[in-house]
Amino acid sequence: MMRFLTALSKLDGLNEISITTNGVLTAPLVPELKKIGIKSVNLSLDTLDSGRFFAITRRDEFAKVMHTLEELLKHDIDVKINAVVMDGQNTQDIIPMVEMTRELPVSVRFIEEMPFNGDDHNYKGLAWDHLRILQEIKEGFPLLQKIADPAFSTSSNYHVPGHKGNVGIIAAYSRTFCGTCNRIRITPQGELKNCLYDDGVLNIKDMLRDGASNTQLKDTLLNAMDQRAKDGWEAERSREITTGIHESMAAIGG
């Protein structure tokens, strides 16, 4: 990973490189990440309880993840903690995770659970949407204030007066931010996805293996992005009609 990130950091035209990690093996790499210019890290952490962490991840690695958090903050790297809110599993962590922003300069972002388990049709519906998450936070922190969202942000952002960090809510399933989303994703298989919910619009890996020039890659990418669905709902309907494939987040890459 470090060889890849180091090579990326030397490319002209990249203003910023951020990474997402589960934090299990990241702590020893933090000094090197800082050295090559990584300024922001998204840390996946769904609970602050070691027992629930094991129940969710099936790994006894909670201490390693918290050590990664400590190292990132020690090296002045901006940290966004991504917590997927899962009914019956970690909703009791919402208030403690907001409380964490009192002393730590982190952004804790609560994410609606998405039906990316490879079996979307059996998804029973969203128990904790962005409105319910927000209400839960407000009950624990009545002084919660809405703050400005950065351009193209996928999260609605908030601040508790007196806290060093902020709170965000990402309506990943409700898809309220599609109109301002500027993200694309490349899967481990090389598929370009304009949207998490589409079925992939082209395979970049195949183009590279076939010897496509930089100009061909650029033109093809721009054309593919012009085909972007207007929102995640349209992308999902199109996927179901054309392929019927139901992907897991592990297959997508995330």
* DSSP codes of every residue in 207-224: HHHTT--HHHHHHHHHHH
**Consecutive 10-residue runs of the chain (254 residues): their mean pLDDT?**
92 91 98 97 98 97 99 98 97 99 99 69 76 98 97 92 98 80 84 82 92 95 85 71 57 55
What DSSP designation does 150 have? P
**pLDDT for the residue numbered 151:** 85
| DSSP-H helix ranges across 151-213 | 204-209
Task: Give pTM, 2 decimals.
Answer: 0.86
Task: Say what the pLDDT of residue 170 is.
Answer: 95
CA distance 63 to 69: 10
The ranges of the chain annotated as CATH 3.20.20.70 are 2-178
- Architecture (CATH level 2) of domain 2-178: Alpha-Beta Barrel (3.20)
Instruction: State how far the Cα of 116 lies from the Cα of 100, in Å rounded to an integer.
Output: 28
Q: CA-to-CA distance for 90 and 46, rounded, in angstroms?
A: 7
Structure tokens at 129: 């949407």
Predicted local distance difference test score (pLDDT) of residue 25: 97
Which pLDDT score is estimated for 248? 53
- pLDDT for residue 249: 54
